[in-house]
Structures are given as C-alpha cells and as structure tokens.
C-alpha cells in the first residue's frame, strides 16, 4: 500500500524537479546558451508563440546567439519579442538572421545571479516539500482508515523522507554547479 501511494505521486516529484531544472537553465551565465531565450514569446500570425516554434536558436561563439527564423517576415516580430522579454539583450537584425551579443557579466551581476540560483533552489525544495506533505497526509489517512498499520506508516514515512532527501541533494548539486558556472570568468 505504501509503495502504491509513493508510486502514484512519483510524477509530481518529477514535475517539481523538471520545473526547477527549466528555471535554472534560464539563468544567464557568462556563456551563450539557447535556453536563455526560453521565456521569449513572439506575435506570430495573430497568436503568441514560443520563440523555438518560429525560429532556430544556435550558438555561434561563446558570447553570441544566432536566431534564424523559418519565415523571414517574422524578423521584426522576433526582435520585438526579445526586447519585450526584458532579458537585457539588444538584438541586431541584418535582414536574414538576428544576432544577440551577450554583454560580459561584472562581479556585482554575477553575485546577483548566484542569489537568484539560491532562490530557485529554495523554490525547488519547497515544491518537493509540498509533494511530500500531500503523500504524508495520504499515508496518515490510510492509517486512520485501517488500510495500513502504524508500523507500515513509519516505514512509509522513512521511505518518503529518503526520496525527499535524495531529490533535495540533487537540487543542491545542480545549484552548486550553476553557481560555479556563473562565477567562472
């Protein structure tokens, strides 16, 4: 019964981790990364679409992103979308592609980014905790309904805590790696 409850909520743990990793990938480091533009939406043919649905984003060198739209008529809309996303980038349009040269990060900005990574890690841990609380309540309810014994409840809580500790450790490792990447000049 305990394993069944844990397995039912495995997907929620996975979603919390995926969300954390997605948020972490959008934090800017000193290097160009197409994930920096994940939050950009473009007005395309009357609807808002993610940038990756209307163009390909590639890295030409360590400090430059190149955006190649599939429809050249979308260049202005893509450029406007990047500016509206307020990411601190200034796109340059040459009529065929859009180039974004990433400015160098100064020490103060790097420290701000490290703080942001810490906040994202804390949000990720909160997401994991919320799932844990849901599972914990479900186990308590099963015990009060006499579906499981007190001993089973204790074993289940221990298993649950092991899963949570493992995920929190994974979040910590990802956050530390991102912080190291940010602080590397």
| CATH classification of the domain holding 172 | 1.10.132.20
Same domain, 116 and 175: yes
pLDDT digits (tens, 9 = 90+) for 45-99: 888 988 888 999 988 887 888 999 988 888 889 888 888 877 777 888 888 899 9
Name the helix (H) or strand (E) containing 56.
strand 55-61
- Cβ-defined contacts of 106-112 (< 8 Å, 24+): 110/182, 110/183
Which residue range(s) make up the domain with 96?
A: 34-101
The number of folded domains in the chain is 2
Same domain, 127 and 78: no
32-52 burial string, b = 16+ CB within 10 Å, else e?
bbbebbbebbbbbeeeebebe
pLDDT digits (tens, 9 = 90+) for 148-182: 888 888 999 999 999 999 999 999 999 999 888 88
Pick from 153, 163, 113: which is nearest to 10 by CA? Answer: 163
């Amino acid at each position: 019964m305990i394993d069944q409850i844990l397995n039912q909520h495995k997907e929620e743990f996975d979603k919390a981790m995926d969300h954390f990793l997605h948020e972490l990938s959008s934090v800017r480091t000193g290097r160009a990364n197409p994930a920096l533009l994940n939050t950009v939406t473009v007005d395309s043919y009357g609807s808002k679409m993610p940038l990756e649905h209307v163009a390909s984003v590639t890295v030409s060198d360590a400090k430059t992103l190149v955006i190649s739209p599939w429809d050249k008529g979308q260049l202005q809309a893509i450029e406007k979308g990047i500016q509206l996303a307020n990411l601190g980038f200034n796109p340059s349009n040459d009529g065929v592609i859009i180039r974004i040269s990433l400015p160098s990060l100064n020490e103060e900005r790097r420290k701000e980014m490290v703080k942001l990574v810490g906040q994202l890690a804390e949000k990720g841990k909160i997401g994991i905790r919320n799932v844990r609380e849901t599972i914990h309540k479900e186990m308590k309810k099963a015990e009060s309904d006499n579906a499981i014994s007190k001993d089973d409840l204790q074993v289940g809580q221990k298993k649950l805590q092991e899963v949570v500790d493992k995920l929190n450790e994974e979040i910590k490792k990802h956050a530390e790696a991102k912080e190291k990447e940010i602080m590397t000049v």
